[in-house]
């Protein structure tokens, strides 16, 4: 019989970056006398893309089992699904008594598929702060065969699934959470401390076809876009300044500054009480002079802005985003004129876009000059409208959808002719004068640069931007990439002993 009075222990495993989701859950659990800890392996991103293949999963599982948790918590993104599933399977081989609870975006989108894996005992659907608490507080009872129905968690009991797989839970009052448990990650990787990740809002009112928000706006009942109060965020940041002395603040909100009143109040208070340089993401349609002025005066150094496509028809019909080139051009000039570094995010390989569309887009960026353009090849993520549509029109087969849903592939790169030469110039154009880029594009000479190496075409220009621009978020990223490479080296060496 499981002892209901014994303190319960949830151990998280995470393989990439810092997860605010895990930090929030951890702080709620700790406030309720549940122990948490983290096994963190800094292995999974583009810059170390082969690292996942080189992990000694058995050794990671041993590390987990040595800590003997009641529950192993996994946070699943599509890109990290396979690594997590393999770790969980290895843990189960060593100690089947450890229960595995999976949450995160991928688990929320595909709860049934996730729970279908024998190594998964329970799945959290949606925001996990209070549902995880519910699960842990009922853990002893569940282990003893009782079957309480929980809000937001579905678990296996004697071959049945207990709970509602369609109930995607969200929290209305974001101020009700304790501040995220930063120490969980900072203890493992102190270099994270210099850039404080904070979230002011959850959700996004837009429904771009390639984004998780499209699906979530469909399945979530109630309000999807919610903000914390300015006071609550400022209190967190005051504490963060005292405790960690960060040099930069990163607002991870998908859409910063969506509400005018909120922005005015928050940014005035931020300027007065915090003042640290910061990064935020804007949608081109909400950029106004007053918002940019407020942000600049509050010490905004870096804006990331999703543009994605400059073909207005394709943007509207395929991406389900309205884009207006004139408005965009004004937004770029406005942000740059306030000395804020501006990164425009752009997707290549969108269904229907031709080489001419990509060249036209590059012409536009060349004339309007954001500080840099961050290019991605279209990735098909599970349950996104664009993915369903691609299946309906025969771009993706059923087999490929299955692979995507199992985190085996997400990239659509092979769905279009890979234009490495265009990719190269999207990354490099800002280092050259406008006339030169015009000449390259008009003469077609850009085609000579078919450079396939990710490091040369993408990583190197990022590093150059970071080195040339003192007010740059990429500087931090560069530092972390170097650290990550070194860490990985140490990690692999220890694994191979
Ligand atoms: C900030 C952010 C980043 C940051 C930090 C990522 C991180 N590890 O958190 C950076 C910039 C590094 C990043 C990078 C990428 N990201 Co990103 N990112 C986000 C963003 C905007 C916010 C994430 C966040 O902090 N949310 C706030 C916390 C509180 O929410 P949460 O993490 O979902 O956690 C809650 C629940 O999911 C659940 N939960 C989470 N974990 C667990 C674990 C357990 C055990 C339980 C019970 C519950 C639980 O409870 C949590 C609390 O409520 C999301 C958008 C979104 N809607 O999620 C995209 C998002 C997660 N990113 C996405 C992608 C695709 C990427 C990239 C691949 C993009 C790219 N091409 O470069 C990379 C690589 C990511 C990787 N390998 O980890 C996609 C993922 C889609 C998918 N199906 O997996 C998202 C959803 C955006 C989108 N377009 O749809 N990203
Ligand atoms: S604006 Fe950004 S976060 Fe919002 S739905 Fe579109 S891509 Fe997603």
Q: What is the mean pLDDT of residues 95-124?
A: 97
Q: Which of 109-113, 161-165, 271-275, 464-468 has the lowest mean pLDDT?
A: 464-468
Q: What is the mean pLDDT of residues 118-123?
A: 98
- List the chain domain ranges: 9-162, 189-378+413-482
The structure tokens listed for 6 are 């014994």
**Does residue 284 register a pLDDT over 90?**
yes
What CA–CA distances, in Å, run from 322 to 79, 334, 353? 28, 20, 16
Return d(Cα 174, Cα 5) in angstroms, integer.
30
Give the pLDDT score at 452. Answer: 85
130 lines ligand 2 (CB under 6 A): no
- The whole-model pTM stands at 0.94
CA of 188 to the centre of ligand 2 (A): 31
Give the pLDDT score at 268. Answer: 98
Q: What is the mean pLDDT of residues 25-51?
A: 82
Q: What is the mean pLDDT of residues 28-54?
A: 78
User: Which residues contact ligand 1 via a Cβ below 6 A?
Assistant: 16-17, 19-22, 24-25, 44-45, 73-75, 77-80, 101, 103-106, 108, 124, 127-129, 132, 199, 211-212, 252, 254, 376, 381-382
3 state SS for the chain:
CCCCCCCCEEEEEECCCCCHHHHHHHHHHHCCCCEEEEEECCCCCHHHCCCHHHCCHHHHHHHHHHCCCCEEEEECCHHHHHHHHHHHHHHHHHCCCCEEEEECHHHHHCHHHHHCCCCCCEEECECCHHHHHHHHHCHHHHHCCCCCCCCCEEEEECCEEECCCCCCECCCCHHHCCCCCCHHHHCCCHHHHHEEEECCEECCCCCCCCCHHHHHHHHCCCCCCEECCHHHHHHHHHHHHHHHCCCEEEECCCCCCCCHHHHHHHHHHHHHHCCCCEEEEECHHHCCHHHHHHHHHCCEEEEEEEEECCCHHHHHHCCCCCCCHHHHHHHHHHHHHCCCEEEEEEEECCCCCCHHHHHHHHHHHHHHCCCEEEEEECECCCCCHHHHHHHHCCCCCHHHHHHHHCCCCCECHHHCCCCHHHHHHHHHHHHCCHHHHHHHHHHCHHHHCCCCCHHHHHHHHHHHHHHHCCCCHHHHHHHHHHHHHHHHHHHHHHHHC
213 lines ligand 2 (CB under 6 A): yes
253 lines ligand 2 (CB under 6 A): no
pLDDT tens profile 204-241: 988 899 998 888 878 776 667 899 999 999 999 999 99
Q: What is the mean pLDDT of residues 47-74?
A: 84
Counting ligands in written order, the one closest to the CA of 285 is 2
CATH of 9-162, one of 3.40.630.30, 3.40.50.2300, 1.10.1330.10, 3.40.50.720: 3.40.50.2300
Q: What is the mean pLDDT of residues 432-446?
A: 97
pLDDT tens profile 407-436: 987 555 556 666 889 999 999 999 999 999
**Does residue 93 register a pLDDT over 50?**
yes
Mean pLDDT of the chain: 90
Give the pLDDT score at 414. Answer: 57
CA of 75 to the centre of ligand 1 (A): 9
Fold of 189-378+413-482: pyruvate-formate lyase- activating enzyme (3.80.30)
| Substitution candidate for ligand 1 out of 46, 91, 104 with most atoms within 8 A of CB | 104
Question: Atom of ligand 2 at shortest distance to CA of 207?
Answer: 5
Q: Give the residue, 128 or 412, on which the prediction is more confident.
A: 128
Cα-based torsion angle of the residue sequence 111, 115, 119, 123 in order, rounded to the nearest 10 degrees: 60
Tell me which residue has tokens 């963190």: 40
Return d(Cα 126, Cα 168) in angstroms, integer.
5
Counting ligands in written order, the one closest to the CA of 80 is 1
Q: Which of 206-220, 251-265, 439-453 has the lowest mean pLDDT?
A: 206-220
Return d(Cα 5, Cα 22) in angstroms, integer.
25
Counting ligands in written order, the one closest to the CA of 106 is 1
Give the pLDDT score at 109. Answer: 94
Q: What is the mean pLDDT of residues 45-59?
A: 67
pLDDT tens profile 298-356: 999 999 999 999 999 999 999 999 989 999 999 999 999 999 999 999 999 898 899 99
The phi, psi pair for 123, rounded to 5°, reads -130, 140
308 lines ligand 2 (CB under 6 A): no
Equal CATH topology for 9-162 and 189-378+413-482: no
């Amino acid at each position: 019989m499981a002892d209901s009075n014994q303190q319960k222990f949830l151990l998280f495993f995470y393989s990439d970056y810092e997860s605010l989701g895990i930090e929030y859950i951890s702080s709620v659990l700790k406030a309720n006398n549940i122990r948490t800890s983290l096994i963190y392996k800094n292995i999974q991103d583009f810059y170390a893309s082969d690292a996942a293949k080189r992990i000694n999963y058995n050794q990671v599982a041993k590390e987990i089992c040595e800590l003997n948790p009641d529950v192993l918590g996994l946070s699943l993104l599509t890109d990290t699904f396979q690594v997590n599933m393999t770790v969980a399977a290895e843990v189960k081989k060593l100690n089947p008594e450890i229960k595995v609870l999976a949450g995160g975006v991928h688990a929320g989108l595909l709860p049934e598929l996730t729970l279908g894996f024998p190594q998964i005992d329970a799945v959290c659907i949606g925001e996990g702060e209070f549902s995880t608490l519910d699960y842990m507080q009922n853990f002893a009872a569940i282990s003893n065969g009782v079957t309480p129905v929980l809000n937001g968690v579905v678990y296996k009991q004697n071959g049945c699934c207990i709970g509602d797989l369609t109930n995607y839970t969200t929290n209305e009052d974001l101020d009700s959470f304790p501040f995220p448990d930063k120490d969980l990650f900072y203890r493992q990787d102190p270099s994270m401390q210099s850039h404080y990740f904070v979230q002011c809002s959850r959700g996004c009112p837009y429904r771009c076809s390639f984004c998780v928000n499209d699906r979530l706006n469909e399945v979530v009942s109630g309000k999807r876009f919610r903000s914390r109060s300015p006071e609550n965020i400022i209190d967190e940041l005051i504490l963060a300044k005292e405790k960690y002395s960060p040099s930069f603040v990163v607002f991870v909100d998908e859409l910063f500054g969506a509400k005018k009143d909120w922005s005015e109040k928050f940014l005035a208070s931020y300027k007065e009480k915090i003042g640290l340089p910061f990064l935020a993401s804007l949608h081109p349609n909400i950029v106004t002079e007053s918002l940019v002025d407020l942000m600049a005066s509050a010490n905004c150094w870096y804006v990331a802005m999703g543009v994605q496509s400059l073909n207005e028809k394709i943007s509207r019909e395929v991406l389900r985003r309205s884009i207006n080139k004139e408005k965009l051009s004004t937004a770029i000039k406005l942000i740059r004129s306030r000395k804020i570094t501006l990164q425009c995010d752009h997707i290549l390989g969108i269904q229907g876009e031709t080489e001419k569309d990509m060249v036209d887009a590059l012409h536009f960026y060349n004339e309007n000059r954001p500080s840099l353009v961050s290019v991605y090849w279209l990735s098909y993520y599970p349950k996104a409208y664009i993915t369903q549509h691609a299946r309906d029109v025969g771009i993706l087969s059923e087999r490929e959808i299955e692979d995507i849903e199992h985190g085996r592939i997400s990239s659509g790169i092979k769905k279009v002719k890979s234009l490495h030469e265009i990719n190269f110039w999207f990354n490099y154009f800002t280092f050259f004068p406008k006339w030169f880029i015009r000449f390259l594009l008009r003469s077609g000479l850009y085609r000579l640069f078919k450079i396939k190496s990710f490091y040369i075409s993408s990583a190197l220009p990022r590093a150059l931007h970071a080195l040339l621009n003192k007010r740059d978020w990429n500087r931090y990223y560069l530092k972390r990439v170097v650290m990550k490479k070194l860490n990985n080296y140490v990690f692999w060496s220890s694994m191979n002993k």
